[in-house]
Amino acid sequence: MCGIVGYIGFEQAGPFLLDGLQALEYRGYDSAGICLNDGSKLIVKKAKGKVFDLRTLTHDGHDTKGTVGIGHTRWATHGEPSDVNAHPHLSESGRFAVVHNGIIENYQQLKNYLTAKGVVFRSMTDTEVIAQLMEYYYKGDLIETVIRVLEKLDGSYALGVISQENPDEIIAVRKESPLIIGLGENENFLASDVTAILSKTRTIYRMENDEIAILGREGVKIINTDKEEIHKEIETIDWDVNAAQKGGYEHFMFKEIMEQPKAISDTIAPRIKNGRVVLDEVNLSAEELKQFNKINILACGSAYHVGVVAKYIFEKMLRIPVEADLASEFRYRDPIVNEKTLTIVISQSGETADTKEAMKEAQRRGSHVISIVNVVGSSIAVESDDVIYTWAGPEIAVATTKAYSTQLAVVYLLALYFGDMLGTVVPDEYKALVQELEDLPNKIETVLENKERIQYLASKLFNSKDVFFIGRNIDYALSLEGSLKLKEISYIHSEAYAAGELKHGTISLIEEGTPVIALATHEELIAKIVSNIEEVKTRGAQVMCIACDNHKELERVGETIFIPRVCDMLLPSLAVIPLQLFAYYVASLKGCDIDQPRNLAKSVTVE
- The β-bridge partners of 204 are 182, 235
User: In the annotation, is 431 catalytic?
Assistant: no
* Sequence-ordered list of residues with C-beta below 8 angstroms from that of 210, at least 6 positions apart, any chain: 150, 174, 175, 224, 225
Distance between CA atoms of 444 and 574, rounded to whole angstroms?
Answer: 6
Distance between CA atoms of 447 and 450, rounded to whole angstroms?
Answer: 6
For residue 339, the number of C-alpha atoms closer than 13 Å in the C-beta half-sphere is 1
- The DSSP annotation for 59-94 comes to TTTTTS--SEEEEEEE--SSS-SSTTTSSPEE-TTS
Pair type for strands 203-206 and 211-215: unpaired
- Cα angle value 395/398/401 (rounded, 5°): 55
Contact assessment for residue 193 and residue 239, using Cβ atoms and an 8 Å cutoff: no
Longest dimension (CA), the chain: 80
Measuring CA to CA, which residue among 304, 473, 314 is closest to residue 372?
Answer: 304
Distance between CA atoms of 546 and 525, rounded to whole angstroms?
Answer: 14
Structure-derived torsion over alpha carbons of residues 238, 243, 249, 250, reported in degrees to the nearest 10: -120
Using CB atoms within 10 A of its CB, is residue 206 exposed (0-12), middle (13-18) or buried (19+)? middle
Out of 2, 35, 300, 592, pick the active-site residue: 2
- The β-bridge partners of 220 are 215
Using CB atoms within 10 A of its CB, is residue 571 exposed (0-12), middle (13-18) or buried (19+)? buried
* 255 phi/psi in degrees, rounded to 5: -55, -45
Contact assessment for residue 350 and residue 371, using Cβ atoms and an 8 Å cutoff: yes
Crossing angle for the helix pair 571-590 and 427-448, to the nearest 10 degrees: 20
> 3-class SS at 544?
strand
> 3-class SS at 298?
strand
Contact assessment for residue 324 and residue 311, using Cβ atoms and an 8 Å cutoff: yes
CA dihedral for 448, 412, 487, 472, sign (positive or negative)? positive
> 3-class SS at 546?
strand
Distance between CA atoms of 139 and 446, rounded to whole angstroms?
Answer: 46
* 433 phi/psi in degrees, rounded to 5: -65, -40
User: In the annotation, is 602 catalytic?
Assistant: yes
> 3-class SS at 525?
helix
Contact assessment for residue 213 and residue 222, using Cβ atoms and an 8 Å cutoff: yes
Distance between CA atoms of 529 and 533, rounded to whole angstroms?
Answer: 6
Which sequence positions are flagged as catalytic?
2, 602
